[in-house]
Structure 1
Amino acid sequence: MADNVSTSWSVSTRTRGSLVSILLILAVVAFASATPLFAPRAVIQDLFSILTMLVLAQCWNLLAGYAGLVSVGQQAFVGFGAYAMFGGVSLLGMDPMAAIVLGGLAALALSIPTAFFVFRLQGAYFAIGTWVIAEIVRLSLAQWKALGGGTGTSLPAGAARDMVGVRFVADLLGVRGPQATDIVCYWLALLLAMLTIGSIYKLLRSKQGLGLAAVRDNREAARSVGVDPLWTKSFVYLVAALATGLTGALIYVQKARISPDAAFSVPDWTAYVIFIVVIGGIGTIEGPIVGVIVFYILQNLLADYGSWYLLILGLIGILIMLFAPRGLWGLFTDRTGIQLFPVRRILAGRPKIKTNEGVPDG
């Protein structure tokens, strides 16, 4: 009888809670999409900030958590994308919606020569190299007199209010131009967050995702099984630059004013992002989501404490790294086994009984 039993093996990323996770995510997206219909303007602005920081955190997590590329120069793509958007609107007369796309493409173009240099560096030298390049880009754009030089500039009057979709939203919801602009920017941020998370999730579930994990864990072992470490890391680096540039351009459409120091701020666009990923859980899609919520709560609770605010954030980050190295989501997952975006492959086997039909006896 034992000879008639075989095992059929399959690989899956689904867990027992996959269906519940999908329904929960769909409910959250539906609620978030409808929020501008009843929420005040201040809430919409706060949610916009949360969503844009979430996209930046997911991009940095993709680099550091899945590709092993610890960059401290992502502000280069935020600022460059934002300045490209300003150039498109102020100098070329583009609609801000199209200029946002221009900002993302400009950041992508910047990442190509940047990758050529920084990929020659390893470890801490890579991190320092990305920061140095960001400073070079900041100092270069500070010389761009047409966009205000070192003091910065503002979008032309009414440019944001004339953006595609703003007048339609204003008429549909019965709100004024500035509030309609905030709503359109919020919906764009929500769409960008959904596309970013969905694309990263799809990438990690693919063969390329397996190759990315292999490169992160051991470059030589990955190369021995046919994975090209340079191409894999370059692809992730370029994709993260594109999404970061789009986000930077969108942020400064909503702000409507830019300066080199603000657009290339290390604390705002890199330090806070790293904090979000670390406390939430590096190497997981859920980690940045948890981290950005915790960061927003801490930001509101501690905003009145001046310089103590940064010290407290640093202390919280250190404590979490010591007592929960995998972040808050990692701690939660270890105790419950719940995953909203499961990417770990599970090998499952099912017994199969062979029949002797059609086989002659003897």
Structure 2
Amino acid sequence: MSLSQLLTERAAAAVDVRRAARTSKASGGALLAVVVLLAALPYVVFSDITDTLVNFYVLVALASMWNLLAGFGGLVSVGQQAFVGIGAYSVIALADLGVQPYLAVPLAALTCVVFAVPTSWLAFRLRGDYFAVGTWVIAEVYRLLVVRVDALGGASGKGLAGLSGLDPALRGALTYWVALALTLATVGGCYLLLRGRVGLSLMAVRDEETAASAAGIDVTRAKRIVYLVSAAGTGAAGGVITISSLSVNPDAIFNVQWSAYMIFIVVIGGIGFVEGPLLGAVVFFALQQLLADYGSWYLVLLGAVGIAAARWLPGGLWGLVRDRTGLSLFPVGYYVRDPGHAR
């Protein structure tokens, strides 16, 4: 054996490279227990609590998709409301065709992917701030097109067909479970995507696009994948909003406030962390419930909190937790440890 080979083997034995730390594995078990508990809530709590949680799950899903797009793909969009609206109206249109509304939610996600393909060809011609503004303009174009379709209710919107015959308690429980499944699919989908080669490519493109391209990464392909996945998850969230509210209005569903909510949640929770949208949604939802009675001051206080987080917590709340404890619920990188150091 050569000296170089001997040194390489000793160096490999001196460190322990793992996908997850022990704390991550323990937290994974705790998360599974939480999911089981949340799934059982319709049996043990009143419907007003589960109805409130549906809104929370939608926010988590939307923020997770925006975090995947901007936090890992480097695509800062303020036009994701386009896919919220397309997903919502897809459920309306499919229900009118006789499709069961709950089954229409995943079909709405696929519809958004179809729309996202030509949208990406247009949006990807823009860079930086122009991309952000361009996505907002594209969302407005989609809203104006929907308003002109009389079959979708025009400017006044339209109600959802196909759920009037269901018992209200059963409908509430089904809506809750669909919303919970949406959250699990979006968070879990981000985690699985980022653990693979696509995730490594995305983070390389985000950090330095030119260097990533020089290293052989297909930058456009990586961006398009994350854009389509984000569109699908955002569209499914729009579908859940529709089955929860039983109607849709173009001005409300295509409102830029949806993108504002996503950005706020991710900035507060921690951009670039899978856990960030979860923690950020908890904080945002709590502030929303506590400050809703303060009128316009509610928005002022939310803005102040967002500015403070951006100024003093660049990694968000989860970045602070990660720095202090080393905890990672969804590890997408690698841990290099000394085998003699138990953790």
Give the structure-2-normalised TM-score.
0.93
1:18-33 superposed matches below 5 A: 18-33=24-39
Aligned to 1:150, what secondary structure does the other structure show? helix
Equivalence for 2:141: 136
Which of these residues, 171, 180, 185, is aligned with residue 195 of structure 1?
185
Any stretches of 5+ residues in structure 1 without a counterpart? 167-176, 352-362
CA shift for structure 1 position 288: 0.5
Alignment partners' CA distance in 1, 2:44 and 2:255: 33
Map residues 1-362 of structure 1 onto 2, 5 A cutoff: 6-8=10-12, 11-90=17-96, 92-156=97-161, 159-162=162-165, 177-267=167-257, 269-348=258-337
1:131 Cα deviation (Å)?
Answer: 0.3
* Contact 1:181–1:254 (CA under 8 A) maintained in structure 2: no
Q: Tell me, in whole angstroms, the C-alpha distance in 1 between the residues paired with 2:143 and 2:52.
A: 27
Partners of 1:73 and 1:127 within 8 A in 2: yes
Once residues 213 and 312 of structure 2 are traced to their aligned partners in structure 1, the CA distance between those partners, rounded to angstroms, is 35
Answer yes or no: is the 8 Å Cα contact 1:7–1:349 preserved in 2. Answer: no
Q: Kindly state the Cα deviation for residue 178 of structure 1 after the two structures are TM-superposed.
A: 1.6
CA displacement, residues 155-188 of structure 1 (integer Å, 9 cap, x when unaligned): 23xx2255xxx6xxxxxxxxxx122112101111
* 1:315 alignment partner, SS class: helix
Output the amino acid matched with 2:199.
G
What is the number of equivalent residue pairs in this alignment? Answer: 333
Instruction: State the alpha-carbon separation in 2 of the partners of residues 301 and 138 from structure 1.
Output: 32
Deviation, 1:349, is 7.0
Partners of 2:158 and 2:101 in 1: how far apart?
Answer: 15
Paired residues of 2:109 and 2:235 also in contact (CA < 8 A):
yes
**Cα distance in 1 between the residues matched to 2:336 and 2:159:** 56
Output the CA distance in 1 between the equivalents of 2:301 and 2:82.
27
Q: Could you tell me how far 1:337 is from its partner in structure 2?
A: 1.3
Distance 1:80 1:230, change over 3 A: same
User: Is the 1:77–1:107 contact (alpha carbons within 8 Å) kept by the matching residues of 2?
Assistant: yes
Contact 2:102 2:178 in 1 (8 A): no
How far residue 17 of structure 1 moved from its aligned partner, in angstroms, is: 0.3
- CA deviation profile, 1:40-61 (whole Å, cap 9, x unmatched): 0110011111111100000000
**Structure 2 counterpart SS, 1:7:** helix
Root-mean-square deviation over aligned CA pairs:
1.8
Q: In the alignment, is the contact (CA less than 8 A) between 2:24 and 2:327 conserved in 1?
A: no
1:23 and 1:346 map into 2 onto residues whose CA distance is: 19
More displaced stretch, 192-201 vs 53-62? 192-201
CA distance, structure 1, for counterparts of residue 223 and residue 37 of structure 2: 36
Equivalent-residue separation in structure 2 for 1:18 and 1:263 (angstroms): 37
- 2: CA distance, partners of 1:179 / 1:263: 26
Q: Secondary structure at the match of 2:11?
A: strand
The CA deviation at 1:202 is 1.3
Higher helix share: 2
Higher-Rg member (1/2) = 1
Q: Which runs of 5+ in 2 are unaligned?
A: none
Q: CA deviation at 1:119?
A: 0.3
- How far the C-alpha of 1:279 sits from its partner, in A, is 0.4
Code of the aligned partner of 1:215: V
Give the residue type in structure 2 aligned to 1:262. A
- In the alignment, residue 120 of structure 2 is paired with which amino acid? A
- Residue by residue over 1:256-284, the C-alpha shift from the partner in whole angstroms, topping out at 9 and shown as x without a partner, is 111111111111x1111111110010000
Distance in 2 (CA, whole Å) between partners of 1:332 and 1:346 is: 17
| TM-fit CA distance, 1:290 | 0.6
Runs of 4+ more than 6 Å apart: 2-5
**For residue 291 of structure 1, what is the amino acid of its counterpart?**
G
| Cα 1:59/1:82, change in 2 over 3 Å | same
